[in-house]
Amino acid sequence: MLVMIGSGWQIYNASPIMPFEFPAAITLGGWLGGGIAWHFAAMWVLMGAGLVYVVYGAASGHFRNDLCPAGPRSLVRDIGQALRLKLSHKAGHYNAVQRALYTGVLVVAVLTVTTGLSIWKPVQLGWLTWLFGGYDIARCIHFAMMSLIVGFLLLHVALALMVPATLWGMVFGRRMPDSDRESAS
């Protein structure tokens, strides 16, 4: 993911659509050709990982059970709790804010991939480019989705650091031996 973002910034710099460029130090590839090579290499790897995730998510019921957005009432309640830093957080169970964010970022991920494909193959996948309003608009949406993903990554890491007990589970795929209690540290 970070490779995709860094190389994407390198490609962006070749012909910026906003009045700024990304500093060379945080881009990947060294020049446009290198950035493209990294971007496509990471694309195939991510595509493989994404495929595994979708198959696993559908087959295991993860999408159905854990991600289907909760009702608006519990979402408002949980946002309120999150802002007061009192949100209950139990390893292995997503609260309403998490559900909304994780589902949202899945939608963003799908849009990132589809706009990316539409600007890579505006002829072979012309219908997709047309769906996004043409090549130039698809390019802008691709950039906007990248910005949302970067925002999500920053927020995700910040929130995870506020509840350090979750880091164990995120990295190792199981909760820490004594983490069954609710934590809001």
Distance, in Å, from the CA atom of 121 to the CA atom of 6, rounded to the nearest integer, reads: 21
- Measured in whole angstroms, the distance separating CA 123 from the mean position of its chain's CA atoms is 27
Spatial separation of the C-alpha atoms in residues 170 and 138, rounded to whole Å: 33
Candidates 78-86, 105-113, 118-126, 151-159 — which segment interacts with other proteins by CB under 8 A?
118-126
Residue from the set 38, 91, 96, 105 that interacts with other proteins by CB under 8 A:
38
Cα–Cα dist 142/118, whole Å:
9
Per-residue string for binding with other proteins, 145-174, x by CB under 8 A?
Answer: --------------------------xxxx
Cα-trace Rg, the chain = 19
Task: Pick from 21, 40, 51, 64 the residue near other proteins by CB under 8 A.
Answer: 40
Q: Contacting other proteins (CB under 8 A), which of 24, 41, 154, 157?
A: 41
Using CB under 8 A, count the residues that bind other proteins. 33
Cβ atoms 111, 145 nearer than 8 A: yes
Stretch that binds other proteins, among 10-18, 67-75, 104-112, 176-184 (CB under 8 A): 10-18
Terminal alpha carbon distance of the chain: 29
Site membership for other proteins, residue 8 (CB under 8 A): no
Helix axis angle for 32-60 and 2-14, nearest 10°, is 140
| Whether 36 contacts 28, CB under 8 Å | no
36 lies in the site for other proteins, by CB under 8 A: yes
Contact with other proteins (CB under 8 A): which of 1, 21, 26, 33? 33
Question: What's the CA gap between 22 and 20, in Å, rounded?
Answer: 7
Write down the least CB distance from residue 14 to other proteins, Å: 4
Question: Which residues bind to other proteins, rule: CB under 8 A?
Answer: 11-12, 14-15, 17, 28-34, 36-38, 40-41, 44, 119-124, 126, 130, 135-136, 139, 171-174
